[in-house]
Chain A
Amino acid sequence: MQDIANLKELAEKAKEVRRLIIQMIAEANSGHPGGSLSMTDIITTLYFSIMNHRPANPAWEKRDRFVLSKGHACPAFYAVLALCGYFPVSELMNLRKLGSMLQGHPDRKVTPGVDFSTGSLGQGISAACGMALAGKIDKKNYRVYAIIGDGESQEGQVWEAAMSAAHYKLDNLCAFLDFNKLQIDGEVEKIMNIEPVVDKWKAFGWNTLRIDGHSIEQIIEAVGIAHKTKGKPTMIVADTIKGKGVSFMEGRVGFHGVAPTREQEQQALSELR
């Protein structure tokens, strides 16, 4: 995979991903735009500038692994995979349709480039830890990346995983918390507060960083620090805006799992030019 070094170009790529997210969800007339848009800069940067992977050979053993633990945000994941060349971009318009390789939540059996099946929140992070542990057992150099949600962080299994990853010293694991402050029913803080979340991860034994999750520069820098950290996994708590990039979706809980109408799609696309 040819990395994009230029920050401006990466930002352009992220914008293209956002356009595709809007188009595919509008075409499917269902899906999760809010949490897809909030993690777009992170996943675009991972796949286009950080991860070691080969779209022509998705099963390449030495590849870096990625687990989207907040599986509902897969439109962003699928758009990035398509732009990387794992499958044609035109395939994105089959999202959520009968027989599609792009299921409503990631299914590793049918989508090239998907390392793990998710959709039930709290589970993916454990699997990512398992992949990192396998790397340790075999003394392989691949790294494992994962993205979890802030609402997802209410699941007990996340904290079981947190404890175990520190115990096994999985410094080949780098996770992001897409801290967009919203979940389905409203504000995370009001529904079930997860703060102080950086302190929690720190207390569980992780190297923790806090960044602006829409700053590509900060994402790259934080992953660089994670890479150099020995003996501990890294959690990058990324402050993000749910629905980022589309004015009428930003910070709106209503766009967690609702597709834009065709009119809204046009407006969103004009904002994302």
Chain B
Amino acid sequence: MAEMVATRDAYGKALIKFGKMYPEMVVLDADTSSSTRTQWFYNEFPERFFNFGISEANMIGYAAGLSTCGKIPVVSTFACFGSGRVFEQVKISVCWPRLNVKIVVTHAGVSVGEDGASHQAVDDINLMRVLPNMTVIVPADGIETEKAIQYALENYGPFYIRLGRLKLPLVFDDNYEFVLGRMSTLRQGKDATIIACGLMINESIKASQILSDRGIEVRILNASSIKPIDKEAIILAAKETGVIITAEEHSIIGGLGSAVSEVLSTNLPCPVEMVGIADTFGQSGNPEELLKLFKIDADAIVEAVVRGMGRKGY
């Protein structure tokens, strides 16, 4: 059994590690620091941590201003408040001037659980992906989270990194190399390709075992880099396996499934099945119940693979 680590916990540790390496790094939060784990950074570097209280729009503006003066602001809050709530501030104050601001959100998707719809960001990949100059990353586990944070700190420009609340099994080990715009292959297979991100990687791995027992061998690609997206890997998967199943903890409108479909429809049309949240709001419940309710668990992926394979060659 793989070690279980929440991506937000990996983030909290990474902040302390990189805080030592990057003196120009400052961390901003809006009264969510105990949950986003930026408090761990505060405990080590109180003079480089700024809590804005509940004023997300203003916090994004500060981050922009700080970055024009050579700081590397890392801004955190829950995904719902770090995307939709501040969409226009991110667009005009960060992306348009292409500033070096790193937005790292936690508690993305319905796996927030009991807090319900107001706190479940299922539209944020869509919102952030559409912004020019923005890079969007959804790490699959704690190790990839640390690598993605490091990548963001080492490379100039706006980043949106989407983390979750739950503990997840580690997929990678310390030798894993994060490459922006490249999907890593987690499993080889010829019958279908699952392209997933975030906690859906874990569900995809579970689905692949169920499918393997039935004699179906799927390829699994980790699409942590949503933007830029790995066109070559998508086209190659379409050529070699003939059907693509996307899986994300996000609306099927505008997220990973859309990004993959955009590549395929303009390059190599191929059947796509999208596992994601239908056009609806979330609700309260425990995470496992919610993944089942919204049909974004391993069982839903298995069904989608079977359905997709039935469409091959049409």
Task: Name A's B-contacting residues (CB within 8 A).
Answer: 61, 65, 67, 107-109, 115-120, 122-135, 137-138, 156-157, 160-161, 163-164, 168
Known: A125-B61, A126-B60. A137 touches B48 (CB 8 A): yes
Known: A123-B93, A128-B65. 19 other contacts (CB 8 A): A116-B68, A117-B93, A120-B88, A120-B92, A122-B57, A123-B57, A123-B88, A126-B57, A126-B60, A126-B64, A126-B89, A127-B65, A130-B65, A130-B66, A130-B68, A133-B65, A134-B66, A157-B61, A160-B57
Cβ–Cβ contact B64 & A164, under 8 A: no
Cβ–Cβ contact A133 & B62, under 8 A: yes
Give per-residue flags for B29-68: 1 if the beta carbon is below 8 A from chain A beta carbons, else 0: 0000000000000000001101011010111111111111
Task: List which B87-141 residues lie within 8 A (CB) of chain A.
Answer: 88-89, 92-93, 96-98
- The minimal Cβ–Cβ distance linking A50 to chain B, given in whole angstroms, is 20
- The minimal Cβ–Cβ distance linking B21 to chain A, given in whole angstroms, is 17
What would be 23 A-B contacts, judged by CB atoms less than 8 Å apart?
Answer: A107-B96, A108-B68, A117-B93, A119-B92, A120-B92, A123-B57, A123-B93, A125-B61, A129-B61, A130-B67, A131-B65, A132-B65, A134-B68, A134-B69, A134-B70, A135-B69, A138-B69, A156-B57, A157-B58, A157-B61, A160-B57, A164-B52, A164-B53
Docked Cα-Cα span, A209 to B58, in Å, equals 24
Known: A123-B92, A130-B63, A133-B66. A109 touches B58 (CB 8 A): no
- The minimal Cβ–Cβ distance linking A161 to chain B, given in whole angstroms, is 5
Cβ–Cβ contact B60 & A117, under 8 A: no
Q: Identify the 3 closest CB pairs spanning chains A and B, nearest first.
A: A130-B65, A126-B61, A134-B69
CB neighbours of B231 from chain A (8 A): none
Docked Cα-Cα span, A122 to B68, in Å, equals 18
Known: A117-B93, A131-B69, A134-B71. A123 touches B62 (CB 8 A): no
The closest CB in chain B to the CB of A109 belongs to B97
CB neighbours of B47 from chain A (8 A): 137
Cβ–Cβ contact A117 & B97, under 8 A: yes
- The minimal Cβ–Cβ distance linking A156 to chain B, given in whole angstroms, is 7
- B235 within 8 A of partner (CB): no
Task: Name B's A-contacting residues (CB within 8 A).
Answer: 26, 47-48, 50, 52-53, 55, 57-71, 73, 88-89, 92-93, 96-98
Cβ–Cβ contact B48 & A164, under 8 A: no
CB neighbours of A160 from chain B (8 A): 52, 55, 57-58
Docked Cα-Cα span, A164 to B57, in Å, equals 12
Cβ–Cβ contact A115 & B57, under 8 A: no
Cβ–Cβ contact A133 & B50, under 8 A: yes
Say whether chain B's binding surface is mostly helix, strand, loop, or mixed. helix
Partner of B62, one of A65, A120, A130: A130
- The minimal Cβ–Cβ distance linking A135 to chain B, given in whole angstroms, is 7
Cβ–Cβ contact A157 & B57, under 8 A: yes
Most buried by B among A107, A108, A131, A160: A160
Docked Cα-Cα span, A123 to B88, in Å, equals 9
The closest CB in chain A to the CB of B52 belongs to A164
CB neighbours of A130 from chain B (8 A): 61-69, 73
CB neighbours of A161 from chain B (8 A): 58, 61
Docked Cα-Cα span, A122 to B92, in Å, equals 11
Most buried by A among B53, B58, B88: B58
Known: A117-B92, A120-B92. A131 touches B68 (CB 8 A): yes
CB neighbours of A120 from chain B (8 A): 88-89, 92-93
Known: A137-B48, A163-B55. A127 touches B93 (CB 8 A): yes
CB neighbours of A65 from chain B (8 A): 68-69
- The minimal Cβ–Cβ distance linking B58 to chain A, given in whole angstroms, is 4
- The minimal Cβ–Cβ distance linking A245 to chain B, given in whole angstroms, is 30
CB neighbours of A125 from chain B (8 A): 61
Cβ–Cβ contact A116 & B64, under 8 A: yes
CB neighbours of A131 from chain B (8 A): 65-66, 68-69
Known: A133-B50, A137-B26, A164-B55. A123 touches B89 (CB 8 A): yes
Cβ–Cβ contact A126 & B93, under 8 A: yes
- The minimal Cβ–Cβ distance linking B73 to chain A, given in whole angstroms, is 8
CB neighbours of A129 from chain B (8 A): 58, 61-62, 65
- The minimal Cβ–Cβ distance linking B127 to chain A, given in whole angstroms, is 16
CB neighbours of A115 from chain B (8 A): 68
Docked Cα-Cα span, A156 to B86, in Å, equals 13
